[in-house]
């Protein structure tokens, strides 16, 4: 009946059914993240170079002129400088304020993530290695922390210790370490069941060596991948706390605080004071999320 067909011949004969096109579209459809990675790179670069490229130092009150307050984007200052993104209520150049705000936001996001990672990874590793009562105690605390909305924990902590860049970082570390501890413990437990660890234990290697030289490097990967998205979470939390007025101090405004300062002028039509820092914040958060999500997918790590 049918002459024999090799694989190649079969490929050709149904190469154009509508269903086939649909199926192939599904396989090929992958969101592009290159744009997000480039955007993220630019934002980080701007933040790092802020002192060099910003037209004005927004922290230096002497260089501000109150006469220039709340100027629309594109206005010129008395001394001939153009405020491309307008000025705020103190007469601060918004572009400069945003560049410095980006710097503060990234600083808080990165350092709190590193701090939370360090504590969480250590706690998770210890819990997985020693098990028993130590594990139970650590995980009870983790469960307790994760049982409460992060914003609430941070708010109450800041209510008692006051505002400041360092204090916001502490608050975010306190909120975020628990998720890393849980992830790290899970990853390390999987790793501990593998034969090479068993071999190392039977070999009589010291526990500390097994934990730091074998368990840690082999199970930290998934935790690091998840932490990229958590940087975005940390930045969001910082912005929120600053917006609520309990975050960074007015002398070192982050993007969140800039938005809060502009919010009251939003209704009177002076949109630029709040909207431009808002755009910067959102670009930062979205690009971090897309890049982090892409990393998570390519390393096939499930989120917490």
Partner 1 sequence: MTAYVLQRLIQSILVLLAVSIVVFLAVYGIGDPIELLVPPQVSAAERAAMIRRLGLDLPVLQQYLVFLGNALKGDLGRSFVHGVPAVDLILARLPATFELVLLAMSLAAVVGIPLGLLAGLNPESRPSRAIMAGTVLGFSLPSFWKGMMLVLLFSVALGWLPTAGRGETVSVLGIQTSLLTLDGLKHLVLPALNLAIPNMALMIKLVAAGTSEAMTQDYVKYARAKGVRPKRVVGRHVLRNILIPVVTVAGMEFGSLVAFSTITETVFAWPGMGKLLIDSIYQLDRPVIVAYVMLATLLFVAVNFLVDILYAALDPRVKLTGEMV
Partner 2 sequence: MTSPLLEVRGLKTVFHDLKGAWPAVDGVDLIVEPGEILGLVGESGSGKSVTGFSLVQLIDAPGEVVAGDVMFKGEDLRRASEERMRNLRGDRIAMIFQDPLMTLNPVLSIGEQMCEAILEHRTVSRQEALKEAANALARVGIPSPEARLKQFPHEFSGGMRQRVAIATALLNKPDLIIADEPTTALDVTIQSQILFEVQKLSRETGAAVLWITHDLAVIAELADRVAVMYAGRIVETGTVDDVLDHPRHPYTLGLLGSSAAAIAPGERLRQINGMAPSINSRPSGCPFRPRCERALAICSEVDPSPQSDREHSYRCHNPVPEGSTP
- Which residues bind to partner 2, rule: CB under 8 A? 1-8, 10-11, 13-15, 17, 19-20, 22-24, 26-27
Q: Closest distance between partner 2 and the C-beta of residue 223, in Å?
A: 33
Only segment of 41-49, 117-125, 141-149, 203-211 that touches partner 1 (CB under 8 A):
141-149
Nearer CB in complex with partner 1: 219/278: 278
Stretch that binds partner 1, among 73-81, 105-113, 148-156, 200-208 (CB under 8 A): 148-156
When CB distances are held under 5 to 8 angstroms depending on the partner's kind, the choice from partner 1, partner 2, none that residue 275 binds is partner 1
- Is 254 within 8 Å of 99 (Cβ atoms)? no
Q: Tell me which of 18, 80, 147, 204 binds partner 1, using CB under 8 A.
A: 147
Structural contact between residues 76 and 83, judged by C-beta atoms closer than 8 angstroms? yes
Helix locations, 131-210, DSSP H: 132-146, 150-161, 165-192, 195-202, 207-209
42's contact among partner 2, partner 1, none, with CB below 5 to 8 A by partner kind, is: none
The answer to whether 105 and 252 have CB atoms below 8 angstroms apart is: no
For partner 2, the closer of residues 24 and 53 by Cβ is: 24
**Contact status, residue 172 vs residue 180, Cβ threshold 8 Å:** no
Minimum gap (Å) between residue 233 Cβ and partner 1: 8
Element containing residue 1 per DSSP (H, E): none
- Cα-based distances in Å from 57 to 10, 60, 99, 150, 152: 68, 6, 10, 33, 34
CB atoms within 10 A of CB 302: 9
236 makes contact, choosing from partner 2, partner 1, none, with CB < 5 to 8 Å by partner type, with: partner 1
Element (H, E) at 278: helix 272-298
Task: Give the interface with partner 1 as residue ranges (CB under 8 A).
Answer: 22, 25-26, 29, 144, 147-149, 151-152, 155-161, 232, 236, 239-240, 243-246, 256, 259-260, 263, 266-267, 269, 271, 274-275, 278, 281-282, 285-286, 289-290, 293
């Amino acid at each position: 009946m049918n002459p024999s067909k090799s694989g190649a011949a079969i490929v050709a004969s149904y190469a154009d059914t509508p269903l086939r096109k649909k199926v192939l579209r599904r396989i090929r459809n992958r969101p592009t993240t290159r744009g997000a990675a480039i955007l993220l790179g630019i934002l980080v670069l701007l933040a790092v170079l802020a002192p060099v490229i910003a037209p004005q130092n927004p922290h230096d009150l002497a260089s501000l002129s109150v006469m220039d307050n709340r100027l629309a984007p594109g206005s010129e200052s008395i001394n001939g400088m153009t405020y491309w993104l307008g000025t705020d209520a103190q007469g601060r150049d918004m572009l400069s304020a945003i560049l410095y705000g980006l710097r503060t936001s990234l600083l808080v996001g990165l350092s709190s993530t590193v701090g939370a990672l360090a504590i969480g990874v250590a706690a998770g590793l210890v819990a997985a290695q020693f098990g028993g009562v130590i594990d139970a105690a650590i995980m009870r605390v983790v469960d307790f922390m994760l049982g409460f909305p992060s914003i609430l924990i941070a708010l109450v902590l800041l209510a008692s210790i006051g505002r400041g860049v360092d204090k916001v970082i502490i608050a975010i570390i306190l909120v975020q370490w628990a998720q890393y501890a849980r992830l790290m413990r899970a990853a390390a437990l999987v790793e501990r069941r593998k034969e090479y660890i068993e071999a190392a234990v039977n070999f009589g290697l010291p526990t500390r060596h097994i934990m730091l030289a074998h368990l840690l490097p082999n199970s930290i990967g998934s935790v690091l991948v998840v932490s990229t998205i958590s940087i975005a979470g940390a930045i969001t939390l910082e912005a929120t706390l600053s917006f609520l007025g309990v975050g960074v101090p007015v002398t070192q405004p982050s993007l969140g605080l800039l938005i809060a300062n502009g919010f009251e002028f939003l209704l009177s039509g002076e949109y630029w004071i709040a909207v431009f820092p808002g755009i910067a914040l959102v670009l930062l958060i979205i690009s971090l999320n897309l890049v982090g999500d892409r990393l998570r997918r390519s390393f096939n790590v499930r989120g917490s």
